Amino acid sequence: MPPRRAHHLLQLPCPVPGCLRWFQNQSGLTQHMCSLHPTLPVSGPSPQDHPRPSRSPSRPQDFSLAPLDFSPPPRPSSPILPDPIQEDSNNDAEFTDTSEHCYRTYHSMLNGKTTMQADGTFLPYGTPPTPVPLKDPDDWSPYRNRIEFEAAEFAFKQCHMSARNLDFLCDLMAATLAKHHDTPSFADHKDLHNVIDAMQLGDVPWQCFSVQYSGEQPEVVPPWMDDEFEVWYRDPRAMAHNIIANPNYKDEIDYAPFREYDALDDTRRWKDFMSGDWAWQQADTISQDPETQGSALVPIILGSDKTTVSVGTGNNEYYPLYASIGNVRNNMRRTHRDALVIIGFLAIPKTDRSHSKDDSFRIFRRQLFHSSLSAILSSLKPFMTTHEVVRYGDGHFRRVIYSLGPYIADYEEQLVLSCVVKHWCPKCIAVRTNLDGGGIYHSREHTNFLINELHADILWDEFGLIGDLVPFTNDFPRADIHELLSFDLLHQLIKGAFKDHLVDWVAKYLKAVHGTKRSEEIMSDIDRRIAAVASFSGLRRFPQGRDFKQWTGDDSKVLMKVFLPAIEGHVPQDMVRAFRALLEFCYLVRRNVITEDTMIQIQDALYRFHHYRKIFNTVVPTFSLPRQHSMTHYVDMIRLFGAPNGLCSSITESKHIKAVKEPWRWSNRHNALGQMLVTNQRLDKLAASRMDFDARGMLTGTILSNENEHAAPGIAPQPDAPDIELQPDAPVIEPQPDVDDGEIVDGPTVLAYVALAKTPQRKRAQTVAALAHEVTVPDLRRLIRYFLFSQLNPDDARNPEDIPAAGLPRHEGKLQVFNSAATTFYAPSDLSGIGGMRREHIRACPLWRNEYPRNDCMFINTDSNAEGMRGLEVARVICFFSFKHDWEVYPCALIQWFEKIGDCPDENTGMWMVAPSFHEDGSRDLTVIHIETVFRTAHLIPIYGSEYIPPSLKFYQSLDTFGSFYVNKYADHHTFEIAS
């Protein structure tokens, strides 16, 4: 790295009267004078023209596309690996996981147990990892210290300050530190970028090749035949090395294919990718070669999807290519811990309207896609039949064998990948006009046989195959593109079968049955019902219903949660049951762990969906729809690839934001792709630096804790503040976030726990009498006495109401009131931390966001009958408070109970029905409970019936307006588990 430049304070003022600009050097002053004050001469040397450094990576080589033959790209040198954790993580052939009551059987040949030295020399079993040269614990290179690293990460990754803002921040720091004869960490934005670029760890350089059509040309050559199309990529093998060597994954990686069974009944379970049959079958094939035995199988998971970064004018469309490895468990891919990385930007050939529909252009565009993938992945091909030695995150070296794994893509992308005609199935040979009639699965051998034996027209018309294209998987061993096409929950089920099909069919049905005017009235009421749904953690609201144009995947997901109760009463029962069957199918296949029993439920939901969707026959010409037909393949794909939530296109869609859209917004829009590549490379280096420093224990604590040598000059380190108990009169107000979403929590895996907010509300009641008056509950004293009796006498089976008042404990003293409580629970099927933990807040606020009171509903653990909602009851919180009795603090909640309507869920919607509970005298059924009995929030949706709701009804009034409610089991996947 070249010598670092020091920051220079502004020294040269502008000589023009009234101009207050200052400059660091004569060149800046001269340019300022020439642009803003050209009439005044300025003495001094003329500015020098320095060549502007290019932000686009270099192009190592160009390729021509004649017979579409690519030479392999150059192999980068092996990346520098972080210091390993000294731990032996060899897996036994079989083990029992008592936490989940399951056991596993690992593949005996490709089990990844054989460890070795870097040169391939085998090590005896149990040998500790090969040590690597230790780095100095104070070696922050290329940064000078922790402050520089965290400042660089904060400025570039978290805030991504513009060059101008970063320069201004450096100036502010320089002005502050000048009095202490010190300089800021970075001279300017260039200095910061140079330091990040100097980091070698995690560096996988971008490369480029260009492609041009070189086939036969007509007399009038269309412009696209003369154009060159660039493909940018990073070596996927080097990226796989980085993922494998990441010490953060050492406990979240599977070295070998395995089969998992329930310890109670020996039934099969599917969870992470390596638990599927595909990995086991690959291991069987690879292990036939004795030289590969003892190696670790590394499946390469790919995903691609075009994305638009702006709806404005200009060429703002990009085609990112992502990669991961199947060994990393689903939770790591879903939490975006750099287990899914961008490895390329594919070319998007375009031409003018007169040639855009030419068959030759369409064939070229699709074959360019396949040939580009083949070239990008070519560095992996030699090691798909011969092993290589790679260091893992646990410090051991192991042999690895690569295989092309599942490809994550939407339906349109699957057609391109499988070379199948639109409206046909890319997985099986079912006839286009009757997809659900079934058919055998496509295979590489069968497709090649048909192409060799049949004319292209017959292939197109009768088999839906495009014979002029060659899939990229044909260039690699053991790869069949039809088999490797993965799940697509987002586009096939949520945006496809649900929103684009069933939701639109409801509008068509109402119009066909009731006419235009009447149907518009009904749809307006459905929109009002959707808008009237009460708030819930993580639930986006639709203030105007569903009548808006720009739909996102998140919008469709939220609509799934609230649409079913909104249409009930306006449509036939079979239509409601069709929606229920589809929703249950979506939630079942989204489970984190899928069992044999789940498979039966999935098949049952699919059968019911096919049965009840016939109600739409009057408005739908055909049910032979590829996105709905894909549901028939889910059971087989789960057996092959494990639970779909680790391979869903939602993962790549979310990656678009960090890898494409945000880097584009950070660019200056001129030659944006080059700047986006540099940004992604720097983000990877910062992530690798943090991983390295953290593995060496250099990032413990905060920047100020126990780091006196890092304190800014002139600032004396302050002693730690003593632990004090907050008093009710503490002048602290609990913040109310703008977005009421749940939080991803990293930490130990437990079922659930709940805690009151950290800060009590000083402006709320501080005594029992005052709180009783505030919440309009005159019997609060009595309820607290009942509560204390149950807490002090847990083994007493008597009802506190039957005990004389003199025998009940009293509390008349002070208390603290809280506006919320935080509940943390295990919800691995939803967005959660690595351990599957998620946190959400339960609100009991008299004035939420300065607009309305908010009192949420929640699930309560009781000792009642375990049937129905797993023994949980529903209640609405009135307030949270705590008090001290006999020197023990009791955190409590005052709640109103809801009682179940019926002994089973509603037959049409599949949801439990509840109503507020009242005593015989008409008073509310209230109780004070310990917050440890709270499980999590519950979402209630009114049972609207067939009557219209008034337009003036607000969403925060619905819990007080209606008399009965559905317990919305579709609120999220965790609720679906506990409220089914």
Tens digit of each residue's pLDDT (9 = 90 or more) over 912-930 = 999 999 999 999 999 999 9
Report whether pLDDT(564) > 90.
yes
Per-residue pLDDT, 89: 36
Number of neighbours of residue 767 by Cβ within 10 angstroms: 14
Query: Residue 734 has what pLDDT?
Result: 35
Q: Kindly state the average pLDDT of the residues 162-168.
A: 88
Contact at 8 Å (CB) between 137 and 697? yes
The CA distance from 929 to 784, in Å, is 9
Looking at residue 61, what is its pLDDT? Answer: 36
Sign of CA dihedral 349, 350, 351, 354: positive
Amino acid at 377: L
528 or 803: whose pLDDT is higher?
528
629-642 pLDDT tens trace: 999 999 999 999 99
Within 10 angstroms of residue 96's Cβ, the number of other Cβ atoms is 12
pLDDT > 70: what percent of the chain? 85
pLDDT bin (cut points 50, 70, 90) of residue 2 is low
What average pLDDT score do residues 439-468 get? 92
For residue 405, is pLDDT > 60? yes
pLDDT at 123: 84
Nearest residue to 115 via CA among 325, 392, 326: 392
The model's pTM:
0.84
pLDDT of residue 917: 95
Rounded distance between C-alpha atoms, residue 428 and residue 442, angstroms: 5
Q: How do residues 956-970 score in pLDDT, each as one tens digit? A: 999 999 999 999 999
**pLDDT top residue among 860 and 718:** 860
pLDDT at 572: 95
Structure confidence by residue, pLDDT tens digits, 588-637: 999 999 999 999 999 999 999 999 999 999 899 999 999 999 999 999 99
pLDDT (tens digit, 9 = 90+) per residue, 267-321?
999 999 999 999 999 999 999 999 888 899 999 999 999 988 875 545 588 999 9
Question: What is d(CA 498, CA 585) in angstroms, rounded to the nearest whole number?
Answer: 11
CA 756 to CA 770: how far, in whole Å?
Answer: 20
Query: What is residue 44's predicted lDDT score, i.e. its pLDDT?
Result: 38
Give the SS3 label for residue 183. coil
**pLDDT exceeds 70 at position 87:** no
Sign of the torsion angle spanned by Cα atoms 909, 598, 488, 834: positive
Q: What is the pLDDT averaged over residues 176-189?
A: 83
Rounded CA-CA distance 439/486 in Å is 18
Q: Is the pLDDT assigned to residue 231 strictly greater than 90?
A: yes
Q: Determine the pLDDT at residue 11.
A: 60
| pLDDT for res 24 | 64
Banded pLDDT at 893 (limits 50, 70, 90): very high
Pairing of strands 22-23, 913-916: unpaired
Q: Which has more confidence, 182 or 512?
A: 512
Name residue 660's amino acid. Answer: V
pLDDT number for residue 62: 35
d(CA 944, CA 942): 6
Rounded-to-integer distance, Cα 630 and Cα 430, Å: 11
726-743: average pLDDT:
42
